[in-house]
Structure 1
Amino acid sequence: MHNFSLPTPGFGTYRLEDDEAKSAVANALDVGYRHIDTAQIYENEAEVGDAIAGSGLKRDEIFLTTKVWFENLSSAKFITSVQNSLTLLNTDYVDLLLIHWPSPDNKVPMSEYLKELKGCKERGLTKHIGVSNFTQSQLDEALAILGKDQILTNQIEVHPNFQNTELVQYCQRNNIQVTAYMPLGVGKVMESDVLQAIAHEHDTTPSAVALAWLNHKKIVAIPSSTNVEHMRDNLTAKQLMLTADEIVKIDAIEPQERIVDPDFAPDW
């Protein structure tokens, strides 16, 4: 059984580009984040690598995640794409390598790309492996291919406005940590009356409340921000303890709306 826990919150870099990406990651490391999440498709791995190199932190003090894009899932491209990521990130290894999306329409068989993923771990290119945007049936297939306790996490959309409860519970039953992307629902949590009221009670922000709720559910969050105050705020959410009554109120938030649903997404 893997008893390793992902550092939470991590710092997400989706939609951050060029100098903005570099300075945001530098600031995140400066205020205390030690888990940085990127991906091949974000086209900011080089900037993330520069920020880490310039941080003065040792490589082993930082937990670094990247993700293999679906165009690189075939055995012909997989390892080369990962080695390219490592070159851009200016490192010999990542701490966590994820399959970003299951292969659309199963164009590349899961057995093929998960074997490549496992091979990356065996070669020392990554310490841990996992998946992202996998459904329950896809996780069933992945567990059958890789065996139990190989998949560290399934990174999926989770926030108070889209709680993805069944999939979260499935993962946790199967010893797969859940990592929540867009944990603040691209800022929509700020508009929630429920979260605003709870934030008022605790003299904090709706964002911190959303992250504290995820923390209570033992879900790792990777919020993104370019604002240093918001970064700090998101880090302090770990200390925020919500009451059982407040958790129930957040659990009851309606409507539940998925934000991320591209045309290549699996059949949710």
Structure 2
Amino acid sequence: MQSIRSKGLQIPRLGFGTFRMPGDGCEAVVESALDLGYRHIDTAAMYDNEAAVGRAIKVSGVAREDIFLTTKVWHDQLEPGALVEAFKVSLNKLDVDYIDLFMVHWPSPSMHMAQVMTAMQSLLDQGLIRGIGVCNFNMPMLREAIDQLGAPIAAVQVEYHPFLDQSALLGFLRARDIPLVAHAPLAQGRATQDPVLTRIAAKHGATAAQVAIAWLLQQEGVIAIPKAQRRENQMSNLQSLNVTLDEEDRQLIAALPKDQRFVQPPFAPDWDAK
């Protein structure tokens, strides 16, 4: 498993997402993923599964230091005191001594960016987290956090898949040596049925899902965190590491529509803001 180095962290390029896996049922799913070889686990307070993820880590037999663990604070907890308290709740539920990457899950219009970043930095300074990240920030928010405030952002997580252009964001992040973590890398399942990806997959003896994940992982500075509840799908996603796309494949994928955003809650920021 290849990793990307960022702000002193080694982040495995293929992670395991746990969105929409609430409750105790998530425990066996994460145990299976760890057993198959996943070492990057992505959860969040909002997913309502941190306790189950923590138990899976405990019983997996995998050393804590060999697992890269991400969790996130929800957008209604970004006042500094609330953020720190929310972190403590997550740490307690996960039942670990530290979090590898603690991220703001979604921005809030009312957040005070400098105060948010200062609160995150305080957790970093105490050794309770190893890295700071943000999810679903638009470009003005990223410029403020990274360029104006100098926050040591170790990763930025956004929706990214073959049907959504993120070239401007990728250029911005690559210039600053910050990786992009792609959530919804299969476009919420749509990639598995796409005829172009299916045709490419047939050429490589792969699946359309494997092609979509391989396309992400073969880009500079991109990490993907697909989710899969069934063990056979977890294994299949891992096997995307064995798929090597050629220039013809990349051109076919480049020609797909790139304006399809599927994660668009009512509290999302203005994605077109410059």
Which residue of 1 is the match for residue 166 of structure 2? 164
Give percent identity, aligned residues only: 38
Do 2:14 and 2:225's aligned partners in 1 also have CA atoms closer than 8 Å?
A: yes
How much has 1:255 moved relative to structure 2?
5.3
> Number of residue pairs matched?
265
Which residue of 1 is the match for residue 13 of structure 2? 8
For residues 29 and 259 of structure 2, the distance between their equivalents in structure 1, rounded to whole angstroms, comes to 30
Q: Secondary structure at the match of 1:245?
A: helix
Which residue of 2 is the match for residue 153 of structure 1? 155
Which residue of 2 is the match for residue 267 of structure 1? 270
How much has 1:256 moved relative to structure 2?
2.6
2:57 is the alignment partner of 1:55: no
Return the letter of the residue paired with 1:198. Answer: I
Do 2:134 and 2:156's aligned partners in 1 also have CA atoms closer than 8 Å?
A: yes
Stretches of structure 2 that go unaligned for 5 or more consecutive residues are 1-5
1:53-132 counterparts in 2 under 5 A? 53-103=58-108, 105=109, 107-132=110-135
Residue number among 34, 40, 54 corresponding to 1:35 in the alignment: 40
For residues 254 and 81 of structure 1, the distance between their equivalents in structure 2, rounded to whole angstroms, comes to 39
- Post-superposition Cα deviations, 1:211-259, rounded to whole Å, max 9, x if no partner, equal 1100111310000011111111111111211101111111211153100
Residue number among 209, 212, 218 corresponding to 2:211 in the alignment: 209
Stretches of structure 1 that go unaligned for 5 or more consecutive residues are none
Q: Secondary structure at the match of 1:160?
A: coil
How much has 1:163 moved relative to structure 2?
2.9
For residues 32 and 163 of structure 1, the distance between their equivalents in structure 2, rounded to whole angstroms, comes to 30
Which residue of 2 is the match for residue 176 of structure 1? 178
Which residue of 2 is the match for residue 23 of structure 1? 28
1:221-232 counterparts in 2 under 5 A? 221-232=224-235
Do 1:34 and 1:62's aligned partners in 2 also have CA atoms closer than 8 Å?
A: yes
Do 1:74 and 1:113's aligned partners in 2 also have CA atoms closer than 8 Å?
A: yes
Which residue of 1 is the match for residue 3 of structure 2? none
How much has 1:169 moved relative to structure 2?
2.1
Do 1:111 and 1:145's aligned partners in 2 also have CA atoms closer than 8 Å?
A: no
For residues 146 and 121 of structure 1, the distance between their equivalents in structure 2, rounded to whole angstroms, comes to 16
Which residue of 2 is the match for residue 256 of structure 1? 259
How much has 1:58 moved relative to structure 2?
1.0
For residues 248 and 171 of structure 1, the distance between their equivalents in structure 2, rounded to whole angstroms, comes to 23
How much has 1:2 moved relative to structure 2?
3.1
Do 1:11 and 1:28's aligned partners in 2 also have CA atoms closer than 8 Å?
A: yes
TM-score by length of 1: 0.95
How much has 1:190 moved relative to structure 2?
1.3
For residues 102 and 16 of structure 2, the distance between their equivalents in structure 1, rounded to whole angstroms, comes to 16
TM-score by length of 2: 0.93
Return the letter of the residue paired with 2:205. Answer: D
For residues 3 and 244 of structure 1, the distance between their equivalents in structure 2, rounded to whole angstroms, comes to 33
2:158 is the alignment partner of 1:138: no
Which residue of 1 is the match for residue 250 of structure 2? 247
For residues 145 and 10 of structure 1, the distance between their equivalents in structure 2, rounded to whole angstroms, comes to 30
**Structure 1's 190 and 51: CA in aligned 2 closer, same or farther, altered over 3 A?**
same
For residues 214 and 163 of structure 1, the distance between their equivalents in structure 2, rounded to whole angstroms, comes to 12
How much has 1:145 moved relative to structure 2?
4.7
For residues 258 and 84 of structure 2, the distance between their equivalents in structure 1, rounded to whole angstroms, comes to 41
For residues 136 and 228 of structure 2, the distance between their equivalents in structure 1, rounded to whole angstroms, comes to 22
